[in-house]
């Protein structure tokens, strides 16, 4: 009996062997591609989950910082009748601000942005029998995503001393729209002058557009928390981390 060798294989047998090898190679290549795709997909999921975890951790940390600063500033005013406009390092010396938030005599949040604290107009109840000082604070350096998420949070109500929440951005001059608007009326007016046909200067009062970046407890049109659509409009810092969130509180309950 003769053995079949490569030299004496029939053309049909050679074609079958070559086809089998090509099929096995294609199957092996497809298997490698599937494994590569699964590994790549797992890497994408892992990266996204890691980024989300880091984001949520920082967001929870800044929420805790805001609550702590509000409580500490309120306590400083109750005990020392100060705390709104005194330097941050002085508040730190009196243990009202954690030293970890102080950087070069400025308050810094976990995002690296500045924390502003300032006084606002006192507020009284309807009967004018109780009056309370008020203060405002702003957390700067927020991403648009963080600003939107913080704007949709519940920062309290009138019973907890909350008067207003504002969102915005910090421009190149360092002007903070949220810090400015948080103690302003939601709609303001201004007097404009114009020359009449009689040659005299006339004055008229014009109402400015309502602020869509400001919510106040009890406001029939925009009360906290922000709706997501309004938060997306108010947090207008695009991709840069220049958004800010401002809050205004009373020291004492007046209602």
**Confidence (pLDDT) at 219:** 85
pLDDT attached to residue 1: 47
Helix axes 11-80 and 144-151, enclosed angle (nearest 10): 60
In a domain, 10, yes or no: no
pLDDT of residue 93: 62
In a domain, 179, yes or no: yes
DSSP codes, 189-255 = EEEEEEE-TTS-EEEEEEEPPPPTTEE-TT-SSS-SSPPHHHHHHH---TTSS-EEEEEEEESS---
The enclosing domain of 246 has a CATH number of 3.30.1690.10
Q: Is residue 6 part of a domain?
A: no
Task: Name every residue whose Cβ is closer than 8 Å to that of residue 184 and which is 6 or more positions away in sequence.
Answer: 211, 214
Judge whether 105 lies within some domain.
Answer: yes
| Residue span of the structural domain in which 183 resides | 39-250
> Considering the domain boundaries, does residue 7 fall inside one?
no
Give all strands of the β-sheet with 162-169 in edge-to-edge order: 115-124, 131-142, 243-250, 162-169, 214-215
Residue 31 lies in a domain: no
Identify whether 118 is part of a domain: yes
Residue 134 lies in a domain: yes
| Domain total of the chain | 1
Q: What is the pLDDT along the chain (255 residues), one digit of tens a residue?
A: 445 555 555 666 667 667 777 777 777 778 778 877 777 777 676 666 778 788 899 999 999 989 988 888 888 877 776 556 556 656 666 666 767 777 777 788 999 999 998 888 888 888 878 888 899 999 999 999 999 999 999 998 888 899 999 999 999 888 999 999 998 886 555 566 767 777 777 676 554 456 789 999 988 888 899 999 999 999 988 768 999 999 999 988 877
Which token pair is 253? Answer: 């309950």
Nearest Cα neighbor of 181 from 139, 220, 150, 211 is: 211
Structure tokens at 173: 């001059």
Q: What is the pLDDT of residue 9?
A: 55
Q: What 3-state DSSP class applies to 164?
A: strand
């Amino acid at each position: 009996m003769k053995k079949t060798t490569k030299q004496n294989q029939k053309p049909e047998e050679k074609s079958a062997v070559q086809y089998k090898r090509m099929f096995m190679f294609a199957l092996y290549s497809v298997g490698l591609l599937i494994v590569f795709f699964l590994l790549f997909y797992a890497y994408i999921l892992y990266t996204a989950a890691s980024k989300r975890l880091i984001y949520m951790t920082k967001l929870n940390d800044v929420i805790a910082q805001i609550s702590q600063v509000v409580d500490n500033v309120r306590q400083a005013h109750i005990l020392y009748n100060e705390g709104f406009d005194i330097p941050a390092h002085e508040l730190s010396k009196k243990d009202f601000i954690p030293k970890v938030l102080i950087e070069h005599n400025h308050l810094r949040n976990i995002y690296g942005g500045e924390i502003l604290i300032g006084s606002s107009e006192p507020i009284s109840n309807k009967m004018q029998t109780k009056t309370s000082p008020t203060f405002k604070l702003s957390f700067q350096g927020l991403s648009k995503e963080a600003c939107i998420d913080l704007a949709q949070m519940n920062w309290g109500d009138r019973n907890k001393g909350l008067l207003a929440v504002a969102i915005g951005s910090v421009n190149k001059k360092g002007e903070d729209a949220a810090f400015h608007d948080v103690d302003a009326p939601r709609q303001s007016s201004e007097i404009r002058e114009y020359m009449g046909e009689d040659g005299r200067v006339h004055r008229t009062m014009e109402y400015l557009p309502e602020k869509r970046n400001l919510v106040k407890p009890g406001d029939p049109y925009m009360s906290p928390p922000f709706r997501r659509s309004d938060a997306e409009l108010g947090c207008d810092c695009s991709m840069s981390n220049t958004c800010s969130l401002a809050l205004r509180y009373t020291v004492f309950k007046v209602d």
